[in-house]
Chains A and B, each alone.
Chain A
Amino acid sequence: ETGVTQSPTHLIKTRGQQVTLRCSSQSGHNTVSWYQQALGQGPQFIFQYYREEENGRGNFPPRFSGLQFPNYSSELNVNALELDDSALYLCASSVVVVGGEETQYFGPGTRLLVL
């Protein structure tokens, strides 16, 4: 096990609602990244937080937002849910090192179903 935890494990929402997913990073890790994994696809990068600031973002609209807290836990918020948001959401924590060669360690994910 990686020491990265996520909650809840499963979630069902209806279109138009808002959802908050939570992640607790591995001890000593100061960076958290979020990924969306649609069924049958590889994970897609949503964004990354370092020192409580977003420092990188993939091709996701602004209704996907996040927070990182001083204890390095993190939230992913999605507003105005759409059916295509149904996916497994993965959180990964890491330690930033010079050169950006950090290894990301993933949590078990939260499976979101939007009806």
Chain B
Amino acid sequence: AQSVAQPEDQVNVAEGNPLTVKCTYSVSGNPYLFWYVQYPNRGLQFLLKYITGDNLVKGSYGFEAEFNKSQTSFHLKKPSALVSDSALYFCAVRDMIRGGADGLTFGKGTHLIIQP
């Protein structure tokens, strides 16, 4: 079975400071990892994904994520936070061996609040 943990319900960061949203995962094989963002009353918007290759993945709006296989983590980062980054962030995983038939498994989400 595959699972995702987002240990923080909420992260507060001052505008202009770096931000990190944490994610750890568990899969039987190798993971495909994703980050999505959800704004109020909207669907999920794709930010970035890790498939293979470089452990540092760059995505939309200046976000990046670092894959760490030994720590089974995929933390989302941004060097300088904007107020407009305030939203609900979801980490998701899919087992590479199982393919798409199991769908994505999501964490519970982390509210990111950027204070002016």
- Residue of B44, B98, B108 most packed against chain A (CB within 10 A): B44
On whether A58 and B103 interact (CB within 8 A), knowing A41-B108, A42-B90, A43-B90, the answer reads yes
Taking CB atoms, residues of chain A closer than 8 Å to B103 are 33, 35, 45-48, 56, 58
Known A90-B44, A106-B44, A108-B42; judge A45-B102 contact (CB<8 A).
Answer: yes
Residues of chain A from 22 to 50 with CB closer than 8 A to chain B in the complex: 31, 33, 35, 40-48, 50
How far does the Cβ of A30 sit from chain B's closest Cβ, in whole Å?
Answer: 11
Q: Choose one: A48, A99, A103; the contact of B49 (CB below 8 Å).
A: A103
The answer to whether A43 and B32 touch across the interface, beta carbons within 8 angstroms, is no
State whether A44 touches B101 (Cβ < 8 A): no
Q: How many residues in B have their beta carbons less than 8 Å from beta carbons of A?
A: 27
Least CB distance from A54 to B in Å reads 9
Indicate with 1 or 0, residue by residue over A87-100, a CB within 8 angstroms of chain B CB atoms.
00010101010011
Q: A107 CA to B100 CA in the complex, in Å? A: 18
Smallest CB separation, B105 vs chain A (Å) = 7
Within 8 A of A (CB), among B75-98: 90, 92, 94, 96, 98
Q: How far is the CB of B81 from chain A (nearest CB, A)?
A: 22
| Assembly CA distance A103 to B43 (angstroms) | 15
Known A-B contacts A43-B44, A103-B46, A106-B36; A48 and B106 likewise in contact (beta carbons under 8 Å): no
From the candidates B34, B102, B105, B107, name the one contacting A103 in the complex (CB within 8 A).
Answer: B34
Shortest B47–chain A CB gap in Å is: 11
B36 contact set on A, CB distance < 8 A: 106
Does any Cβ of B come within 8 Å of A84's Cβ?
Answer: no
| B99 close to A (CB within 8 Å) | yes
B36, B51, B101: most-surrounded residue (chain A CB, <10 A) = B101
Interface residues, chain B, with chain A CB atoms under 8 Å away: 4, 32, 34, 36, 42-46, 49, 51, 90, 92, 94, 96, 98-109
Binding site for B on A (CB under 8 A): 2, 4, 6, 31, 33, 35, 40-48, 50, 55-56, 58, 90, 92, 94, 96, 99-109
